[in-house]
Amino acid sequence: MEIGAEIDELRHKHQLSMAEISKGVLSESNYSRFSRGKTMISIESFIDLLKNLEADFYEISNLNHNPRVVDKYKAKYLELLSDKDYDGLRQLGQTVAFLSKVHFDTYHNIALSIEVQLAKYENRPINQDIHYLVKDLFIRVEKWSHKEAFIFEVFIESFEVEFILLMIENITKNNQNYMVAEKNSHVISLLFTSVMFFLKRKNIQVAESVFELMQPYMIVVGLTTHKFYFTLAKLLLKVVEQPTEENLERIIRLYNLCISLGNKSHSYKVSSHYESIREIYNLPNILKNE
């Protein structure tokens, strides 16, 4: 059933006339066309209709959270990004932006990622409204989670150095209980991303300082993923300081280990970060044929 038709079905369920549901939002004729699937309306008008309806998003089956649907959008995003199909990304972004307003926690990661990719491609700043909302989120967040860690990784390139350092100070100050593994994993993600950020900008001393902050959090974390991040950061620091053949081979061994384990996300981390560091520091193109 189309969304418009489902809204109209709820209108009947709530015993409202077309005049009552569309009051202050749409003309009755436009509402009628929307309910018959003849036209689309803005997200603002959609939300106002729900207010008049006194309904909740979750009453609408079309918009209910479905992990398979989310995975479908993620897969499409990665496919379009791999093909460098920016027109397709733009169209997908419009769809996901709508869904992210309905199910923010479900779709916002994809919507933000698409915005960053399009901004890079179009050589423009990230939308200021989105940028402000993300920074405000980080300022207010009390419990650091995977959601914040992911958004931070997506947006870090657009943050000021002072803001990043302030975030690191706040998050480490508020999470000094090293024995809490759940919190540690997200803190390590933040610090790892920050180490890479400062390395790419040749700010080695700051990168080393942030790396030192990672070590106490590794004491009780048994998660392979975060031990992997820690090892990668340590190796890249060594390569930057001493680009010896031995240190370069260590990166290759880590890369090959990830491939043998079939862990695409880990091998991508190794390859992408190594390549970015290699370009900046003119390291040998040792991964070229890998």
| Domain harbouring 34, CATH code | 1.10.260.40
Does residue 97 lie in a domain region? yes
Pair 281, 243: CB distance under 8 Å: yes
248-269, pLDDT tens digit by residue?
Answer: 778 777 777 776 665 555 666 6
Percent of the chain with pLDDT over 90: 6
Inform me whether the pLDDT recorded for 191 exceeds 80.
yes
- Gyration radius of the chain's alpha carbons: 23
Pair 170, 131: CB distance under 8 Å: no
Q: Is there a single domain that holds both residue 141 and residue 275?
A: yes
Inform me whether the pLDDT recorded for 289 exceeds 50.
no
Cα(199)–Cα(206) distance, integer angstroms: 8
Q: How is 100-128 classified by DSSP, letter by letter?
A: HHHSHHHHHHHHHHHHHHHHHHTT----H
pTM of the model: 0.60
Pair 217, 184: CB distance under 8 Å: yes
pLDDT band with cut points at 50, 70 and 90 for residue 144:
confident
Domain's final residue, options 124, 144, 169? 124
Q: Is there a single domain that holds both residue 213 and residue 253?
A: yes
Q: Is there a single domain that holds both residue 83 and residue 225?
A: no
Q: Is there a single domain that holds both residue 162 and residue 74?
A: no
Model pLDDT, residue 103: 52
Q: Is there a single domain that holds both residue 271 and residue 163?
A: yes
Inform me whether the pLDDT recorded for 112 exceeds 60.
yes
Q: Is there a single domain that holds both residue 36 and residue 86?
A: no
Does residue 288 lie in a domain region? no
Cα(76)–Cα(178) distance, integer angstroms: 38
46-92, pLDDT tens digit by residue?
Answer: 767 877 877 654 455 544 445 555 667 777 877 888 788 989 888 88
Inform me whether the pLDDT recorded for 146 exceeds 80.
no
Does residue 16 lie in a domain region? yes
Model pLDDT, residue 259: 67
Q: Is there a single domain that holds both residue 47 and residue 153?
A: no
Model pLDDT, residue 13: 83
Model pLDDT, residue 199: 87
Domain count, the chain: 3
Model pLDDT, residue 98: 66
Q: Is there a single domain that holds both residue 113 and residue 244?
A: no
Q: Is there a single domain that holds both residue 138 and residue 270?
A: yes
CB atoms closer than 10 angstroms to residue 267: 19
Q: Which element (helix H / strand E) includes 242?
A: none
Please state the rounded mean pLDDT for residues 130-141: 78
Q: Which domain holds residue 167?
A: 125-281
Does residue 289 lie in a domain region? no
Q: Is 247 exposed, middle or buried (0-12, 13-18, 19+ CB in 10 A)?
A: middle
Does residue 95 lie in a domain region? yes
Does residue 290 lie in a domain region? no
Residue bearing the bigger pLDDT, 39 or 70 = 39
pLDDT band with cut points at 50, 70 and 90 for residue 219:
confident
Cα(97)–Cα(175) distance, integer angstroms: 32
Does residue 215 lie in a domain region? yes
To the nearest whole number, what is the mean pLDDT of the chain? Answer: 76
Tokens of 182: 């759940």
Model pLDDT, residue 111: 77
Domain's final residue, options 86, 108, 124? 124
Q: Is there a single domain that holds both residue 114 and residue 145?
A: no
CA dist 125 to 96, 158, 159, 215, Å? 20, 8, 11, 35
Does residue 156 lie in a domain region? yes
Cα(214)–Cα(219) distance, integer angstroms: 10
Residue bearing the bigger pLDDT, 290 or 204 = 204
Inform me whether the pLDDT recorded for 156 exceeds 80.
yes
CA dist 159 to 167, 220, 227, 284, 287, Å? 11, 31, 26, 30, 30
Domain's final residue, options 45, 63, 81? 63
Q: Is there a single domain that holds both residue 117 and residue 55?
A: no
Q: Is there a single domain that holds both residue 111 and residue 147?
A: no
